[in-house]
Amino acid sequence: MDEQEQIKRAQRGDERAMAQLLQSHYSFLMKYLIKMTMNPLLAEDVAQETMLRCIEKIHLYNGKSKFSSWLITLATRIYIDQMRRSRVEKHWKDQAQALRQTQWQLRHEEEAWTDALQALSLLNYEWRLPILLKHYYGYTYDEIAEMMDIPPGTVKSRIYHGLQQLRKELATDEKKQTRA
């Protein structure tokens, strides 16, 4: 059964089709969420919430975008909502531990932990997210704007300023390595 048929069946209430659909996209969603959140435990929480939201809202999927893009949109909005609700900054110790867990998990899944990912992890999620969606996943500014529920101009601005910050971080790392 192809994906479109699974979607149609899931929209009609076929639990097996829904389970297969979610299972086939779970790994992709988790990889995105780990990179987005830089925290495997939070990524798992957001993934679970996304799956629940997908089950509740599958009837709203209209097929205008790929199903995986729709899932990423749901996950992105859930994550942004969580960040808005909990504007309290995490302690540096907690952040460092989450980064170590992320590095371990990416290595475990045989994904490289590059200097760029390290620098990306230091950015605020409001900058990290559009950069990740644009330059790692290839979404357009308009698609990112829709996913994040912000104007396209804001997306462009966040990407621009985030890339400036990334360049500074990477340049600082190069200077540190040259001195060593």
* CA 45/CA 157 separation, integer angstroms: 29
Sequential pLDDT tens for the chain (180 residues): 799 999 999 999 999 999 999 999 999 999 999 999 989 999 999 999 999 999 999 999 999 999 999 999 999 999 998 887 776 555 445 666 666 666 656 565 555 546 666 777 778 888 888 988 998 889 999 999 999 999 999 999 999 998 898 888 777 756 666 655
Nearest of 138, 130, 139 to residue 165 by alpha carbon: 130
Q: Would you list the domain boundaries of the chain?
A: 1-89, 114-180
For the domain spanning 114-180, the CATH number is 1.10.10.10
Contact between 149 and 77 (Cβ < 8 Å): yes
Residue pair 68/28 in contact (Cβ under 8 Å)? The answer is yes
Q: How many CB atoms sit inside 10 A of residue 4's CB?
A: 10
The whole-number pLDDT of residue 122 equals 77
Architecture, CATH, for domain 1-89: Orthogonal Bundle (1.10)
Q: State how far the Cα of 113 lies from the Cα of 152, in Å rounded to an integer.
A: 30
